[in-house]
Structure 1
Amino acid sequence: MTSFPEIEFKETAIPEVGFEVIDLNSLYQMADQGALPMLGKVHRINFYNLIIFSNGKGRHLVDFSRLPVERGSVIFINKGQIHRFDTSSRPGGKLVVFTDDYIRKVMAATDLHLFSSSHFLSSYLPSFKLNHTAVQSLLNLIDLVTEEYHNNQPNIPYLQTLFQAMLIKVGEASPSHRGKVVSQYHSHCFERFMKLLQEQFTVNRDAHQYASMIGTTYKTLNIICKTMTGRTVKQLIDAQTILEAKRQLVLSGTQVQQIAQGLGFEESSNFVKYFKKHAHMTPAQFRKHHEGGQG
C-alpha cells in the first residue's frame, strides 16, 4: 500500500507574516517541471489552505470528496486534511497558505460572528460559491496583498489587516453565516463543541455528554449545529469518526482491528458495520479503492 506524502509548511518570504498567496498557475508550472510531484496526487498538509477559484472548471479532492469548482468557488483545506489539485483541468485562482499560529493570532483581532476558527478546526464545511461582486472584491484584496508583499519594505500591519479582511469577506459569504443571525453564545457553544469533538471523538460519541460538557442542553446544541452546518450533533460526531477511519485506512498499513480499537470500538465487527453504514462499503473495500494515491 502506498503511503501518501505529508507536506510541511515552508517559512514565507517575509518571516513576520505567517501567510502567503500563490497563483495556481505557478503551481501547475512547477508540477510540470518536476518541482511539485505531489500536486496531482493525494497528499496531507500540516498547515491551512484557502483556495479561491477565479476561472476554469474542475474538481478538487478533499478528504475523499471530489468538490466541483469554478469561478467564485472557495475551498478550505484544514490542517491534517488530505487533498489533491486538479492538474488535468487546471482551474485558475489563488492559494492562500497560513500557519496555525498565524490564524490564531489573527482570530484574536477578528469578529468571530463573521468568521469562526472552527472553519479550520473541522471538515463539516463544504466548498461554496461567492457571487460575482463578492469574488471580485476578494480577488481585489488578494491583488493588494500581492502588491504589498512584493514591496521592498512591505508594511507588516497592513498585510495582517488585508489578511483579516480576506477572512471576513469569506466568512460573510459562507453557508454558516449567509442569511443567518447567530448569537455570540451559540457561536461560542459551537466552537467549544467542535474543539471537544476533535479531542474526544475516539473515546466519546455521546451527543448528550458533549452538550453537558459545554454547559448546555442536547436540544440547544442540536439546534446550534443544525443552524451552523445543517447537520445534527450525532451526524457531526459520526462524520468525524468516519473521516478519521478513512484517513487511517488510506494513510497507514494498520490492520482494521487496530483502527477499530483506536477509534473506541471494542469489537471490530461493530466497526465494520458502522463504517459500511456510513461509507457504503467495508473498510477493506475502501482501502483497496484508494490504493496508489489517486483518491
Structure 2
Amino acid sequence: MRGTTVLPGHGRNGGPDGKGMPMHRLEVPMPNALPFAIGTFDTIGAMSRATFPHRHTFHEIVHVTGGSGHHVVDLSRFALRPPNLCVLAPGQVHHWDAVTGLEGRVVLFTDEFLLDHPGDQSVLRALGRRPWLELPPQAADPIAHLIDELDAEYRAGAEGFASVLRSLLHILVVRAVRLAAAPAARPRPEPAGIERMYGAGSSRSGLVATDFMTLLGAPDTCPHSVREGARRLGVSVSYLSEAVKEFTGRTPGELIRQARVREAQRLLLRTELSVRQIAERVGVGDPAYFCRFFRRETGTSPGDFRRGGGDIHHDHRLESIARPQSSA
C-alpha cells in the first residue's frame, strides 16, 4: 500500500459541521510500514477523542481506564464506567460526548495486519455490532496485561515483533468475544439520536456496505468483480458503489483489489505455492500481470515480499490518526 495503511482515497472527508461525514485514515509514512499502532489518547492524537461523529477506515480497539461521560457508537450512547473495552469496525460512526478525564489506550490496525488470522476480520465486524463492554474484575487485569504487552512489544520493535503483535492481538480479539457473550459485560445503551444529524435513511446502505465487507473477509467468498458482488447482494452496481463509498471512503473495486493483495500476501508468507499458483488462487490468471499488480499495490514484488518474510521498514511506528481532508 502506498501513502496510507488502508483506504487511501479521500472518501467523504467532511468537517464536524454536518456537511459531510468525516472519514479518518491511518497514515503510513512509507510502503511496507506496519499497519498497526497503539498508544494513549495523547500520543495517538486529538482525533482519537474527537467530539464530532466520524468514521474510520481502520479497526479500533479502545481500552478506557479513566474518565466520565459518554461514548456514542452508531445509534447507541454508552456511559463510561471504567474499565471499558470498545471494539469498532471500519465504517462505524462514533464520537465522545461530554467526556472528562479520559484515560486509556487505543489500538489501531487494518485488515492487512490480520495475515495470520484472517478470520478475525469477520469476528471484529461482529463485535462492532455490540461494541461497548464493561470489564468485570476477573477480566480487567488480564485485558490490561494484554494491552501492556502489545504496547511494550510495539515500542521495542525487536526481531519478530510483528508476529508477536499479531498473536497478542488475536488473543485480545478472542477474549473480547468471550466477554461479549456474557450479558453482564454488555450495558444497555441509550438512544444516541445520530439519525437526526445524518439521516436515518442511510441504514440500508450501511447494511449493504457491511455485507459487502463480509464477502471480502474470506477468500472463498470474495467476489472477483464489482458486478459479481452486486449480483450476490441483490443490488445494482451503482447502488453498491454509492453505499460502499459512503461507508468506507473507497470504491468496491479498490476494496476487491485490496482483498486480493491481502490473500496473496498470506499465501506468499504461509505457503510454498508458486507465484503462478497464487495468481490463480486470487483470480489473476496471468502471473506476469499478477506481479505487476502486486508491485503496484504494495510497492514490492511477490518474490521480494516472500524473501523478506513480509518484514516491515525499521521505522514502523505511526504517530497519529490523520485529520480529515477536504473532499475538494
Q: 1:89 aligns with which of 92, 96, 100?
A: 100
Q: 2:41 aligns with which of 24, 28, 31?
A: 24
Within 5 Å, give how 1:1-295 maps onto structure 2: 1-11=18-28, 15=32, 17-27=34-44, 30-31=45-46, 36=47, 39-86=50-97, 88-103=99-114, 105-108=115-118, 117-120=122-125, 123-151=128-156, 153-154=158-159, 155-175=161-181, 198-199=211-212
Structure 2 portions without partners, runs of 5+: 1-17, 186-206, 214-241, 250-328
| Separation of aligned partners in 1, 2:209 and 2:20 | 29
Overall identity of the aligned pairs, in %: 20
| Separation of aligned partners in 1, 2:49 and 2:20 | 12
| Separation of aligned partners in 1, 2:65 and 2:127 | 25
C-alpha displacement of 1:57: 2.5
C-alpha displacement of 1:49: 0.8
SS of corresponding position for 1:117: helix
C-alpha displacement of 1:87: 6.1
Kindly indicate whether structure 1 or structure 2 has the higher relative contact order, using CA contacts under 8 Å at least 6 residues apart.
2
Contact persistence 2:60–2:88 (CA under 8 A)? yes
Contact persistence 2:85–2:135 (CA under 8 A)? yes
C-alpha displacement of 1:60: 0.7
C-alpha displacement of 1:157: 1.9
Q: Relative to 1, partners in 2 of residues 1:62 and 1:152: Cα closer, same or farther, differing over 3 Å?
A: closer
Please report the TM-score for the alignment, with normalisation by the length of structure 1. 0.50
| Separation of aligned partners in 1, 2:34 and 2:26 | 13
Question: 1:66-119: per-residue Cα shift (whole Å, max 9, x none)?
Answer: 11122122212111111113463243211111102223x2434xxx7xx78244
Contact persistence 2:69–2:98 (CA under 8 A)? no
Question: 1:155-194: per-residue Cα shift (whole Å, max 9, x none)?
Answer: 2222222222221222221127999xxxxxxxxxxxxxx9
Q: Relative to 1, partners in 2 of residues 1:168 and 1:37: Cα closer, same or farther, differing over 3 Å?
A: closer
C-alpha displacement of 1:21: 1.2
Contact persistence 2:127–2:180 (CA under 8 A)? no
Structure 1 portions without partners, runs of 5+: 180-193, 201-243, 252-295
Contact persistence 2:41–2:49 (CA under 8 A)? no
SS of corresponding position for 1:51: strand
| Separation of aligned partners in 2, 1:20 and 1:9 | 9
Q: Relative to 1, partners in 2 of residues 1:75 and 1:98: Cα closer, same or farther, differing over 3 Å?
A: same
SS of corresponding position for 2:99: coil
Q: Relative to 1, partners in 2 of residues 1:64 and 1:89: Cα closer, same or farther, differing over 3 Å?
A: farther
Contact persistence 1:16–1:156 (CA under 8 A)? no
